[in-house]
Structure 1
Amino acid sequence: MHDLSDFVAKAHRNGYATAQPDADEEQQGTVITYDRDDWTYRDHYYGSEAFLGSEIVIFDGRPVWGMSYYGDLISKNADRTTVYSFLRDALKQATSDRPYRGPPLFESAELTYRSSVTGDMHRFEGNELVGDEESTIYRGTFVGGRVG
């Protein structure tokens, strides 16, 4: 399980947080892949301001882990570019101890990211929030676990 957690954390740090998409067409969605040795990670999502997606990890040709997620800006005054750039910075903080999305708390001068998770790599669910001093401006949920 440690190898899986380590790979998922690396995939998150090298996926949406930093990578260029493989495809970006409205009907096709956006796909980001990350490969390392016998491991493959594929993130496929649709949308931009509000988005829905799924991730799958394949080891040695077999799907072994997956996650589904949904996120959206909940403030009409939020600057999409600023919020999602900050979200990418939070996702770069993924560790093998907590690979699901970002850390429990990540802060900049203007924004705060918070994430809570129930469960473990076998089965989990969680949520994430980005806010400024006044209110929550982004909300995301995620769920997943082992497959196969």
Structure 2
Amino acid sequence: MTELEAFIVEAKANCYIGRAPKNDLSCRDGSHDLSFKKADFSYLDSYFGGTDFMGQEIVWHHGIPIWGMNYFGKILHDELLDAETAGRIITTSLQNLYMQGRFLGGFSHEIEGYRYRDQTEGSYRRFTGIETISRDKLCVYQLDYHGGMIRP
């Protein structure tokens, strides 16, 4: 694992999964921002919405943006899944994934009668993926994401 990959896993684990407090000032009107810094790296997860949401994660090295990811998530069946339960399932599942020292693909987790699944193609350098929650084989939540290295 590269230093960048290790930093991304640590930043993700400390922000959303670690329930980090949102930054006092938003970087964009109406955004919810979570940030993490360590050594020469800094990370920002900036998103809009709640039950249905979209956002962007960026990593800087020495102040230069070098990696990013965009995402859009949506509850597909409000009658079968609420935002609080979805958040708990995602948080617990991703915590288990990050404990493996990774943040991309090939992961499944059963919790509270739901199945969390993450599938990714590619590596941290360039990837696309989908995160889903299913109940009784019906997809009730979906998040699409993509990202990779940023070059000037």
Q: Secondary structure at the match of 1:94?
A: helix
Instruction: Specify the code of the residue in structure 2 equivalent to 1:11.
Output: A
Match of 1:20 in 2: 21
Match of 1:64 in 2: 66
State the TM-score, normalizing by the size of structure 2: 0.87
Q: CA deviation at 1:94?
A: 2.2
Conservation of the 8 A alpha-carbon contact between 2:106 and 2:120: no
Q: Distance in 2 between matches of 1:111 and 1:21?
A: 28
Question: Which gives a bigger RCO, structure 1 or 2 (Cα 8 Å, sep 6+)?
Answer: 1
State the TM-score, normalizing by the size of structure 1: 0.89
Map of 1:1-148 to 2, 5 A cutoff? 2-18=2-18, 19-23=20-24, 27-77=29-79, 78-92=81-95, 93-94=97-98, 98-100=102-104, 104-148=107-151
Q: Distance in 2 between matches of 1:40 and 1:75?
A: 36
> Residues 41-97 of structure 1: CA distance to partner in whole angstroms, max 9, x if unpaired?
100000001000000001111111000000010002122111112111122222676
- How has the CA–CA distance of structure 1 residues 3 and 51 changed in structure 2, closer, same or farther, with 3 Å as cutoff? same
Name whichever of 9-18 and 41-50 sits farther off. 9-18
Identity fraction in percent: 27
Q: Give 5+ residue unaligned stretches, structure 2.
A: none
Q: Distance in 2 between matches of 1:136 and 1:47?
A: 21
Name whichever of 53-62 and 76-85 sits farther off. 76-85
What stretches of structure 1 move > 6 A for 4+ residues in a row? none
